[in-house]
Amino acid sequence: MFNASLLLIAPAGEARDALAKLLTNRGYRLRACFGQLHEAESLAYAPHLLVVEESLRASTQGFKNKVQQAVPLCFFCLNHVLQDPVALFVELEILARTQSEELRIGEARVRQLLEHLADILVILNADGSPRYLSPSLERITGYRPEELSSKGPLEVVHPEDQAKVRQAIFWSHEHPGLPIMFEYRHIHKQGGYVHLESVGQSLLDVPGISAFVVVSRDISARRGWEAKIQDSEQRYRVVAEQTGQMVYDWDVLSGEIQWVGAIEKITGFESEAYQDVNIEVWESMIHEQERAQTLAVLDQAAHADGHFCMEYRLRRRDGSYVWVEDTGLFLKDEEGLAVRMLGSMKDISQRRMQAELLQNAVHERELLLQEIHHRVKNNFQIMISLLNMQMRRLPRAEVLEPLRDVRNRLHSMLLVHEELYRQGFSGRVPFRECLEILCRELYLQYAERGSIQILEELEPLSLSMDQAIPCGLIVNELLTNAFKYAFSAEQRDARIQISLRSLDECVFLEINDNGVGLPDDYSSGLGLHLVERLAHQLEGQCRRLPLSQGTAWHLSFPRA
């Protein structure tokens, strides 16, 4: 005999009752009798066998499609069976044995799958006691299934999560057949808890199962990473707020932007309210004078290397504008299309205001320096003009020469001042240009003394104002003396050489001629005394070098 029960499907009547009695007397467990197949749908599950009268064969296909289970069907002719039931008994025995073997094989396969299941499978009875605990329970929680077989479902749950689990169970009972997802912390045998993500479903009303089924997955690693990410985001948010920056993440495809950091400090909006600011709203908040340029910079960055840095005014909650520096980059997909934009903004209103004040101060300084330059230049020109007027009234040449020397000295100082102004008051004077102009003007002034050639070897060199003026006066003095005293009227190859160079932060100036030399009483004159004083002012030395013909001077001083 077999353990499977029978469902008898045949038209109601004495013949069906007689067959039912015959099957019962034979020892078969007859569960129920139905007149039509659809009446047996609720009970049609294994290990039942359906004994169906031949006249109902045509409706079996639709029946099997509805039930969708491998329920064996045994067809019979009611009149024949009553006359000779042996054939039916034999067929039932064969079907029962076949079904038992299939069930045994199926159960073995299911058991093998459950033993290798990564997730935890728990089947609970109606009273909450465990009917089945999968072997994966030990790998995840440290407990063997038999160790938890006597525990209730809430005894292994973290106290803070018990209410949540209890609520999920109640909901499942009220909604049988519908799955519910919930998370909780399960106690671990070695101490601590593991995070489980579970899906539960009440199948208490399903015949043959009548249980509460829960499948749980270990998400402890994911929860750990999420906690680390959340902690990192929190630290980043604090850093952004403390440094006064507003950080954003723009999803290019959706247009949505996530904002964190010093949002309220920069914009006046609360952080939650500012989350509604998407790309369209942000564009409208840019000042109209910078909007087109800002969007053009973003478009160019999206099609280039992705990096950008721009400044614009952003409208605050109260309608005022704040200057921000917006720096970030685009993230692109495999096709090179921008899909995200990450960046940060910081308030630079104070910096812009200071830059504007500095620009105004520089402008005022330039105006002041221009005024000073004009006043100094006019004073020099007035002094030179007065000397020229006085010189025209003096008849004797020996009286004119000292005045001419004074005038030339003033003019050399004026040249340095002109070059300083031409360079924009940078504090450095291009001294080569000063010497070129000074040589040219002295040459024109003393041209009547004959044809004198000036050879220049001048390096591009800049000096401070404090060095350029005394050095220019020394050159003026030495060149003037060379023009006045070095050459006789008969000399035809007269030449003056002047060189300027620097080496190891030291300036070297040499002036020599091939004339007859200086007069014997020159050492006691004002010119040499002035050269010595100016060289001392430069913290340098000016020496007269011995030559077989002519005169040579060597000036050296440290470059400031």
DSSP 198-257: EEEEEETTSTTT-EEEEEEEE-HHHHHHHHHHHHHHHHHHHHHHHTTEEEEEEETTT--E
pLDDT of residue 159: 93
Please tell me whether residue 120 adopts helix, strand or coil conformation.
strand
Eight-class DSSP state of 324: E
> From residue 465, how far is each of 369, 384, 429 by CA, in Å?
14, 21, 6
CB 549 within 8 A of CB 511: no
Please tell me whether residue 125 adopts helix, strand or coil conformation.
coil
Where exactly does CATH 3.30.450.20 map onto the chain?
118-218, 240-347
pLDDT of residue 281: 92
pLDDT of residue 66: 47
Give the H/E segment covering residue 289.
helix 288-302
Residue type, 398: E
pLDDT of residue 507: 94
Strands 73-76 vs 49-53: parallel, antiparallel or unpaired: parallel
Where exactly does CATH 3.40.50 map onto the chain?
5-113
Task: Give the CATH fold of the 5-113 domain.
Answer: Rossmann fold (3.40.50)
Find the angle CA(14)-CA(95)-CA(104) to the nearest 5 degrees.
135
- Report the CATH superfamily, name and number, of domain 240-347: PAS domain (3.30.450.20)
CB 420 within 8 A of CB 404: no
Strands 495-503 vs 453-458: parallel, antiparallel or unpaired: parallel
Q: Mapped to the 3 state alphabet, what secondary structure does 368-437 carry?
A: HHHHHHHHHHHHHHHHHHHHHHHHHHCCCHHHHHHHHHHHHHHHHHHHHHHHHHHCCCCCEEEHHHHHHH
CB 37 within 8 A of CB 56: yes
Looking at the DSSP assignment, which residues form a beta bridge with residue 9? 34, 52
Task: Give the CATH fold of the 397-558 domain.
Answer: Heat Shock Protein 90 (3.30.565)
Looking at the DSSP assignment, which residues form a beta bridge with residue 70? none
Residue type, 257: I
Task: Enter the tokens of residue 359.
Answer: 């620009």
Nearest one of 511, 520, 523, 522 to 551, comparing CA atoms: 511
User: How far is it, in rounded angstroms, from Cα 416 to Cα 471?
Assistant: 10
Nearest one of 325, 314, 320 to 355, comparing CA atoms: 325
Backbone angles phi, psi at 218, to 5 degrees: -75, 120
Backbone angles phi, psi at 180, to 5 degrees: -135, 135
User: How far is it, in rounded angstroms, from Cα 263 to Cα 344?
Assistant: 11
Backbone angles phi, psi at 31, to 5 degrees: -80, -45
CB 79 within 8 A of CB 15: yes
Find the angle CA(238)-CA(240)-CA(242) to the nearest 5 degrees.
65
Give just the sign of the alpha carbon dihedral 256, 260, 266, 268: positive
Report the chain (560 residues): mean pLDDT per 10 consecutive residues.
72 88 84 81 62 78 54 78 75 67 54 66 85 87 87 88 91 87 92 91 77 88 75 64 79 87 89 89 93 93 91 93 92 87 89 85 69 64 68 65 71 68 66 86 73 89 85 86 81 88 92 81 67 89 85 91
First to last CA, the chain: 120
User: How far is it, in rounded angstroms, from Cα 481 to Cα 233?
Assistant: 80
Find the angle CA(352)-CA(355)-CA(358) to the nearest 5 degrees.
155
Nearest one of 63, 65, 87 to 77, comparing CA atoms: 87
Looking at the DSSP assignment, which residues form a beta bridge with residue 124? 130, 212
pLDDT of residue 283: 93
Domain 118-218 sits in CATH at 3.30.450.20
User: How far is it, in rounded angstroms, from Cα 348 to Cα 461?
Assistant: 40
